[in-house]
């Protein structure tokens, strides 16, 4: 599903602030909602476009008091499924839609609502990007098997994706564990640069496995 899918990205969206958490477009994030402010946020989102952003908290800041507690580049996600329990808590699955930049805050309490603008990715040389995408998928396939980090289900899923940007994001969501690495690649708008980064990362995983 390309980043330019038909879903309209709103001008404002709630932001759930989480430490060390990064959602990529084309990726999925299961969430358990239990804090009252995020229960309120979920109600707000479900009554509107069913969307909110995951805000990767900046290191060493008080996320409640800091005026800008999250990285400015993030991903807006769509609530694909949600189950609310009798005690008011909820389990949901958030599907990443598109990179967005946080421009400012419309609201900070009881939960944050940001002014956002979509961030489009770009491909300068389609032939090079197609080659790199195939290389990344091949490296992922070599990481599939007993005791290796990739499942056969993910391997088959990647083989069915034809958009290089989507391939980069699915692989980043699946194989990057370090929060700083994840945020760094989320902020790279060049699909070629993202795929080159992932190719190096996967090659190192093969050496270490």
- pLDDT, mean of residues 100-125: 96
Q: What is the pLDDT of residue 153?
A: 77
The pLDDT assigned to 159 comes to 79
What does the pLDDT read at residue 1?
Answer: 40
Picking from 123, 209, 145, 203, the residue whose alpha carbon sits closest to that of residue 171 is 203
Give the model's pLDDT for residue 146. 63
User: What is the structure's pLDDT at 101?
Assistant: 98
* Percent of the residues in the chain that have a pLDDT greater than 70, as a whole number: 94
Are 182 and 172 in contact by the 8 Å Cβ rule? The answer is yes
pLDDT at 98 over 60: yes
pLDDT at position 148: 64
Pairwise CA distance, residues 95 & 111, whole Å: 20
pLDDT of residue 147: 61
Flag whether pLDDT at 4 surpasses 60: no
Q: Compute the distance between CA of residue 156 and CA of residue 141 in angstroms, rounded to an integer.
A: 9
Tens-digit pLDDT profile for residues 114-150: 999 999 999 999 999 999 999 998 888 888 766 666 6
Mean pLDDT throughout 162-182?
Answer: 92
- Helix, strand, or coil here: 150? strand
* The model's pTM: 0.88
Domains of the chain from N-terminus onward:
12-118 (2.30.130.40), 126-208 (no CATH)
44-94 confidence digits (pLDDT tens): 999 999 999 999 999 989 988 899 999 999 999 999 999 999 999 999 999
């Amino acid at each position: 599903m390309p980043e330019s899918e038909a879903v309209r990205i709103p001008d404002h969206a709630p932001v759930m602030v989480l430490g060390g958490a990064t959602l990529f477009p084309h990726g999925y994030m299961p969430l358990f909602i239990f804090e009252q402010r995020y229960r309120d946020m979920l109600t707000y989102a479900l009554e509107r476009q069913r969307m909110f952003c995951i805000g990767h908290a900046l290191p060493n800041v008080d996320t409640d008091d800091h005026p800008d507690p999250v990285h400015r580049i993030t991903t807006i996600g769509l609530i694909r499924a949600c189950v609310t329990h009798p005690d008011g808590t909820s389990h949901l699955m958030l599907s990443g839609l598109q990179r967005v930049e946080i421009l400012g805050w419309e609201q900070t309490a009881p939960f944050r609502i940001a002014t956002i603008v979509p961030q489009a990715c770009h491909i300068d040389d389609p032939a090079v990007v197609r080659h790199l995408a195939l290389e990344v998928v091949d490296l992922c396939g070599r990481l599939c098997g007993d005791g290796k980090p990739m499942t056969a289900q993910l391997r088959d899923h990647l083989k069915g994706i034809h958009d290089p940007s989507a391939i980069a994001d699915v692989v980043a969501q699946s194989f990057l564990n370090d929060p700083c690495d994840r945020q760094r690649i989320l902020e790279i708008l060049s699909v070629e640069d993202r795929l080159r980064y992932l190719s190096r990362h996967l090659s190192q995983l093969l050496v270490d496995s």
